[in-house]
Structure 1
Amino acid sequence: MAFHIRDEKTDRAVRQLAARKGLSLTEAIRGAVERDLADLDRDTRPVRERIKDIQERIAAYPKTGLKADKAFYDWLSGDE
């Protein structure tokens, strides 16, 4: 299971990354590839769509019937 890097620029970049992070060449390559894969797996939906999921989950909770403490919220916002 060996890779042979024939491109000088790529070889130099991998060695530089490994040296700066104190890693072996294998660890540097593995880390870089895993970070790229994680980036690809991230949720790329627009923020509005991701927030909508959260709003729907919160809306599913039953109403408590309690009233908000206006004085407390005024205090939080500095409107004492």
Structure 2
Amino acid sequence: MPLYVKNNEVNRMAERLAMLQKVGKTEAIRRALRHELEREQQMPSLVERGLAFARSLRAKAGPDAGRAANKKFIDSLYGEP
């Protein structure tokens, strides 16, 4: 099945890549598409990125994070004894 590139810029980039790799234009496009697909598949999902962000926040907060604030703690924020 033939591949027709109707965009002049894309066609020039495909020709340049083919020339640099010393392959045909179709092969150059195939390699570029394969490379991009592999790169996309290696990227973490949105859920994985969210979990990593939450873990980094928790690590930065330290072991006392999330504990209930008592009067002593609140007074310490205002510099009161």
Q: Indicate the TM-score class for this superposition, using the shorter chain for normalisation.
A: 0.5 to 0.7
What is the deviation of 1:17?
0.4
Q: Distance in 2 between matches of 1:43 and 1:3?
A: 28
Partner SS, residue 6 of structure 2: coil
Identity rate, percent: 23
Q: Distance in 1 between matches of 2:33 and 2:43?
A: 18
- Name the aligned partner's letter for residue 12 of structure 2: R
- Name the aligned partner's letter for residue 14 of structure 2: V
Q: Which residue of 1 aligns with 2:2?
A: 2
Matches within 5 A, 1:42-61: 42-44=42-44, 45=48
Q: Distance in 2 between matches of 1:5 and 1:28?
A: 13
Does the C-alpha gap of structure 1 residues 43 and 2 become closer, same or farther in structure 2, counting only changes over 3 Å?
Answer: same
What is the deviation of 1:23?
1.0
What is the deviation of 1:3?
1.6
- Greater C-alpha Rg: 2
Extract unaligned runs of 5+ from structure 2. 53-81
Q: Which residue of 2 aligns with 1:28?
A: 28
Q: Is 1:16 paired with 2:16?
A: yes
Q: Could you list the structure 1 runs, at least 4 aligned residues long, displaced by more than 2 angstroms after superposition.
A: none
Extract unaligned runs of 5+ from structure 1. 50-80
User: What's the RMSD between the two structures over aligned residues?
Assistant: 2.0
